[in-house]
A and B are shown apart, each in its own frame.
Chain A
């Protein structure tokens, strides 16, 4: 069982929506991650058959879906905007895909299946209500239930949690993971949030500007991103990026300290939690800057340092610590947690060993 996309390309009015996209999705969850306008929604619409690509194909279990009319494809789609039939009850909404099946299935079977799916999504008490009487989270559960009732081969979820509250997103993410890890479905889930990717911990495809940037396990992409866009798509808070010419005291620069990893001038990347206030040992690289702001989340503090020359460093320290705005301080970069990127292409030159 697999979904294969081969060389999908879509260009409209000179704008590249998809460029030579190829990947394989196995049963389970495949996550598409990337910023807005990276092509995620377009790709999902092509897979669903709602848009025809200029070139390339999508095959599901060996069958080219381009040959099958949209209504005969075994695809379900869940949208960001919780789309449900407003005039039908929740029960009828979930039953609707079952009622158009050929060959027809009995009323009892339909009822049984609806209850099964409603139980999975925990909306059994809402079955006789109309979508307008439900909260956002509940409406989205109904939309998801509807997508599952037919047991399609492919389930597409386009940023399904984006319009929901922070906490609701956390809860649903957990549930969705459990519901969609069913081995018989190929689920393609798109998101713009790196946290969701790591949570789902599955096959991940990073997209940027219409192209597949990297394809593999989420953790691999976190630890060994191919380039800056991939690194940033997987980092929340964002990866710090500073020039290797940044001075580290005296006449030394980062380039000197990292000579053994890569020669010349490049861009250094470091995650906020890999910078410390106190030296941890000889593997540290000191950098000085002026305190700009400190942000408190209760569990940690994000300290923003102005390094001069329009460069900034953000570090994450535990707990709530006070800092004098405007004072100069030295912080320590963990040398074993540094990334090196080519300054013009953004490609990764070196990455930390292990997950940092």
Chain B
């Protein structure tokens, strides 16, 4: 059946132009840079795959990626269970539910660099409330102790993004028909059994979204470490994106940075694809039913 609704395509045109301008063109440009060695705008040398080879063997870059992975995994291991736990104890209806939702959402609406600056001051051992108290408990100094620096950035990410997981899981929980809880009560299921056999299975899709979003974002984390630790102390919090900006903007090694960007991009694509495939495996299995 032919449909004569070509007019609709014109509505999409502005979006295409914007996306082309802000995403496709830069991507093409980066790809272009990635195969050249650029000393200055008029001094370029085609080097083919040299940068890619260099990067995969560069210990600094490899350890930056390793740090990003470790950070992501630790962040996920904390945020997902914590988000679920908070969602489960939030009120289900009435004004209390609205109040809880607002309270939980606050970290999400603060601009990233404001979060960075706030935590920066809060964590200083001399003038920061948190930093001072922590320092009294044990020797806390995120400017000199790598573990403290790492821990702080992790804490900031958890504070900032757990609410997203909470909101997604909260919505998912509300969509479970009460009959399932009633049946579980009738079956004498313990609260843990209810969580494991009723809630978790029904939350699978929501958790997939939460996992994907949080993995991508935490892997690419930039603003908070930049503002709070600057990548330090030493290179304790020099994540992949921090190192990339140092190379591109600091050293103006645009060619190498271009290749680095592309590799970064590909890693994220692969991880997302893996997550998605594994977690939707069960959905595909369920398609065939007995008659």
A: residues with CB less than 8 A from B are: 13, 15, 52-53, 56-58, 64, 66-67, 69
Contacts and interface: CB of A to CB of B under 8 A. Distances in A.
A56 B5 CA distance: 18
Chain B contact residues: over half helix, strand or loop, or mixed? loop
A69 B3 CA distance: 7
A95 B257 CA distance: 61
A64 B5 CA distance: 14
Contacts of A57: 1
Contacts of B4: 67, 69
A97 B3 CA distance: 23
Nearest to B284: A13
Contact of B3 (A13, A15, A52, A56): A52
7 contacts: A13-B287, A53-B1, A56-B1, A64-B1, A67-B3, A69-B4, A69-B5
A53 B1 CA distance: 7
B1 A52 contact: yes
Interface string B4-31: 1100000000000000000000000000
A142 B84 CA distance: 42
A280 to B, nearest CB: 37
B2 interface: yes
Contacts of B5: 69
Contacts of A64: 1
Contacts of A15: 287
Contacts of A69: 3-5
B3 A66 contact: yes
Contacts of A53: 1
Contacts of B1: 52-53, 56-58, 64, 66-67
Contacts of B2: 66-67
A56 B1 CA distance: 7
A78 to B, nearest CB: 24
Nearest to B8: A69
A327 B3 CA distance: 66
A67 B2 CA distance: 6
- The residue in B1, B4, B5, B287 that gathers the most chain A C-beta atoms within 10 A of its C-beta is B1
Contacts of A67: 1-4
> Ordered nearest first, which 6 A-B pairs have the shortest CB separation?
A66-B1, A69-B5, A57-B1, A67-B4, A52-B1, A66-B3
B270 to A, nearest CB: 25
